[in-house]
Copies of this chain bind each other. A is one copy, B any other.
Amino acid sequence: MVKYKYKGQGYSNTDINKYSKELLLNLLFSMIRIRMIEETIESKYHEDQMKSPIHLVIGQEATSVGACAALKVTDHIYSSHRTHGNYLAKGGDLKAMMSELFCRANGCCGSRGGSMHLIDKSVGMMSTSAIVSGIVPIANGAAMASKMKNEGRVIGVFFGDAAMEEGAFWESLNFAILKKLPIIYLCENNFYSVCTPLDKRQPASVELFDKAAGFGIEAKQIDATNLLLVYETVLEAAEKARNGGGPTFIENVAYRLRGHGGAGDDSKSGYRGLDEVDSWQNICPIHTLQNEMKNHNLIDENTINDFQNRTQLEIDEAFHHAVSSPNPSEDSLMQHVYAD
């Protein structure tokens, strides 16, 4: 059964010619790279060497890539447990990520975080939480700091549809509106929380973004299989935030093509229809953009193959880096409990 249908328009309303070829290539390649990295992780996960609970972003890459591209390098992002896409899109270091997944001392969090806590402050991937909605109030604080320090920095915070069931989310939204914080709420609505569909958790009669709008925030729902829609919407929101216009809520609708956690799809267990998954495979954000670009002669198979080949080398190297890196030592265990 296809409970959650695609309701977007593909790229039919998008004028791709507005964008430079360079930008489009970058965006597409960023998505392809994230996909390839995750597919490699997937293919090796059963080897039981990445001892970390992973949550793949496959199917939802356009949100990560579109949003991060629309933000400035100096802007900051915060993320829920589904980190890979956000970390990589914001410029996170692949080697440090792979080391973290392989629990090595030179992981981006020194093996203290794992997949759910890919953090790299040097690129503005500031923090994450494995507690649903836990990162939202923290991102608010970052926006508060930006405002108090008059930094002109915009904060983006990624979270799932289920995060909107946590009270702290609404407390945060209220505060951000009250204080006109420079923050963009990037809801990744993939219709599911683990195996539970949205309509078992929130009344089907109301859209997520409408609830947010009810609080007095500018709120939009977008087809987040269309990367350019994400990009455009976040760009506008960031501009507004930077100019003191306060927060924006964006509901990014896209489908999680894999299981909630771990490798592969788990839909056979019955919590969602295989046909539903299939139907969304057809509007994979990478393929749709790729096709659109091909149609506009902005890319061809060769260029893609080239990029893929280079990326595969990069990935192989990162995996090699990770598995050949040292484990953390026992005496590091009690370090960094307190800051000096």
Contact surface of A with B, Cβ cutoff 8 Å: 165-171, 174, 177-178, 201-203, 205-206, 210-211, 213-216
Using known A-B contacts A206-B214, A211-B214, A216-B203, determine if residue A171 contacts B167 with beta carbons closer than 8 Å: yes
In the complex, which residues of chain B have a beta carbon less than 8 angstroms from the beta carbon of A178? 201-203
Partner of A171, one of B166, B211, B213, B216: B166
Q: Which of B174, B202, B210, B213 contacts A174 (CB 8 A)?
A: B202
Determine if B215 and A206 form an interchain contact, defined as CB atoms under 8 angstroms apart: yes
Measured CA separation A170–B203 after assembly (Å) = 13
**A211 and chain B: residue at smallest CB distance:** B214
Select from chain B the residue with minimum beta-carbon distance to A219.
B214
In the bound complex, CA of A267 to CA of B167 (Å): 33
How many of these chains are in the complex? 2
A162 to chain B, nearest CB (A): 11
Chain B residues, CB < 8 A from A171: 165-167
Q: List 29 A-B contacts (CB under 8 A).
A: A165-B171, A165-B174, A166-B167, A166-B171, A167-B167, A167-B168, A167-B169, A167-B170, A167-B171, A170-B170, A174-B202, A174-B203, A177-B203, A178-B201, A178-B202, A178-B203, A203-B215, A203-B216, A205-B216, A206-B214, A206-B215, A206-B216, A210-B214, A211-B214, A211-B215, A211-B216, A213-B214, A214-B214, A214-B215
A133 nearest CB across to chain B (Å): 9
Report chain B residues within 8 Å CB of A174.
165, 202-203
| Complex-state Cα separation, A174 to B215, whole angstroms | 14
- CA A215 – CA B210 in complex, angstroms? 8
